[in-house]
């Protein structure tokens, strides 16, 4: 079975999970390594950049006018990422519509370590024309409070006379590192429709934080990730993530002990495959964890756009 046929077949027949890292947004937002010249202020500068880009992508989503001019180059970069995410969500919803909900849930878990709002804006855009449910873990109407227990949901249409149930596609959006539209309010995390001045985020080196609230939140979200990978007939598709996060790398290494789990990692370049393998701590070839590079698909670098084509657009007979 060729690579495309294998991954496409599993997308339609297994419990679907995605792990999306900063590489997926790199057209618009520089990677962490590009902020190394700032030394101790690297995290602060990265967050400032993510907030700025997120405010601008929100304008793209809402159609509002910017308060300050946006250069043509910046517009093009933002639009490129926004379009890639929108095409990804479109393909994902079409995939879920074709899932047999009597065998597996018509749902997907998207775990992302990104603070930015590209996924949220893409989901909002696709919701205008497609019928599905997005669950960001919040409860409330005007005041949306994050509660990780809200991820255990199934949503269905029923007939007027209760004579049938039709399970709607469900996208669970889970952000272990927080988001630029989240803010802390006492012992709660509130989800806003705007970028917050002082957002609730876990920086790349923030897991060792001595602040109990921050640490507990991080591990609660990772616990959701771990539980999903322990479920039977599950797959994890990884895009734009190099596994430098030691906690997530350790969880994936432990999770592949589940004989029914399959992990498919799309490396941006062929040279990145070795680094990913080292970061996870797996040297041997394992059928439960496959790392693909562009060479495996005769493809360009495996960006979010290219992976979307592989998952949802190419025909099963293509190699």
| More confident position, 255 or 160 | 255
In the predicted structure, residue 317 carries a pLDDT above the cut 50: no
Could you tell me if residue 319 is inside a domain? no
Could you tell me if residue 318 is inside a domain? no
CB burial string 128-142: b at 16+ within 10 A, e below:
eeeebbbbbbbeeee
Count of CB atoms within 10 A of residue 71's CB?
Answer: 8
Could you tell me if residue 27 is inside a domain? yes
In the predicted structure, residue 173 carries a pLDDT above the cut 60: yes
Match 């669950």 to its residue by tokens: 135
The percent of residues in the chain predicted with pLDDT above 70, rounded, is 91
Could you tell me if residue 40 is inside a domain? yes
Could you tell me if residue 188 is inside a domain? yes
Q: What is the pLDDT of residue 35?
A: 80
Q: What is the pLDDT of residue 299?
A: 76
| More confident position, 287 or 243 | 243
- Quote the crossing angle between the two packed helices 42-62 and 118-127, to the nearest 10°: 10
**What is the pLDDT of the chain when averaged over all its residues?**
88
As a whole number, mean pLDDT of residues 135-147 equals 89
Could you tell me if residue 148 is inside a domain? yes
> What pLDDT, in 10s, does the model give residues 101-121?
888 889 999 999 999 999 999
| More confident position, 319 or 79 | 79
As a whole number, mean pLDDT of residues 266-294 equals 90
Which of 224, 153, 225, 213 has the alpha carbon at shortest distance from 182?
A: 213
Q: What is the number of structural domains in the chain?
A: 1
Q: What is the pLDDT of residue 314?
A: 63
Residue 268: exposure state from Cβ atoms within 10 A (0-12, 13-18, ≥19): buried
Match 């909002």 to its residue by tokens: 124
Q: What is the pLDDT of residue 82?
A: 96
In the predicted structure, residue 164 carries a pLDDT above the cut 90: no
According to DSSP, the residues that pair with 189 across neighbouring strands are 184
| More confident position, 221 or 276 | 276
Could you tell me if residue 52 is inside a domain? yes
Could you tell me if residue 231 is inside a domain? yes
Enclosing domain of residue 185: 3-313
Which of 25, 200, 180, 18 has the alpha carbon at shortest distance from 118?
A: 25
According to DSSP, the residues that pair with 78 across neighbouring strands are none
> What pLDDT, in 10s, does the model give residues 180-233?
999 999 989 999 999 999 999 987 665 545 555 677 787 888 889 999 999 999
Q: What is the pLDDT of residue 308?
A: 96
């Amino acid at each position: 079975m060729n690579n495309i046929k294998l991954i496409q077949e599993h997308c339609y027949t297994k419990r679907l999970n995605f792990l999306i890292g900063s590489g997926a947004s790199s057209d618009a937002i520089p990677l962490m390594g590009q902020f190394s010249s700032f030394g101790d202020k690297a995290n602060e500068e990265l967050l400032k950049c993510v907030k700025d880009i997120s405010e601008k992508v929100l304008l793209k989503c809402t159609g509002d006018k910017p308060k300050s001019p946006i250069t043509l180059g910046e517009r093009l970069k933002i639009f490129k990422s926004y379009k890639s995410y929108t095409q990804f969500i479109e393909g994902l919803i079409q995939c879920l519509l074709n899932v047999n909900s009597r065998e597996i849930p018509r749902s997907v878990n998207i775990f992302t370590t990104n603070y930015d709002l590209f996924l949220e804006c893409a989901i909002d855009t696709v919701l205008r024309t497609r019928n599905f449910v997005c669950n960001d873990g919040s409860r409330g109407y005007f005041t949306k409070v994050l509660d990780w227990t809200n991820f255990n949901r199934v949503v269905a249409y029923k007939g007027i006379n209760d004579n049938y149930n039709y399970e709607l596609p469900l996208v669970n959006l889970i952000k272990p590192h927080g988001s630029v539209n989240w803010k802390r309010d006492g012992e709660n995390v509130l989800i806003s429709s705007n970028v917050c001045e002082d957002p609730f985020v876990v920086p790349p080196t923030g897991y060792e934080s001595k602040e109990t609230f921050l640490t507990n939140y991080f591990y609660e979200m990772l616990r959701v990730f771990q539980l999903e990978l322990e479920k039977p007939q599950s797959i994890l598709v990884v895009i734009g993530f190099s596994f430098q996060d030691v906690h997530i790398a350790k969880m994936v290494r432990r999770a592949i002990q589940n004989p029914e789990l399959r992990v498919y990692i799309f490396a941006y370049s062929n040279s990145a495959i070795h680094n990913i393998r080292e970061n996870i701590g797996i040297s041997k070839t394992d059928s439960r964890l496959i790392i693909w590079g562009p060479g495996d698909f005769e493809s360009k670098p495996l960006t979010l756009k290219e992976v979307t084509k592989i998952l949802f657009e190419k025909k099963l007979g293509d190699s």
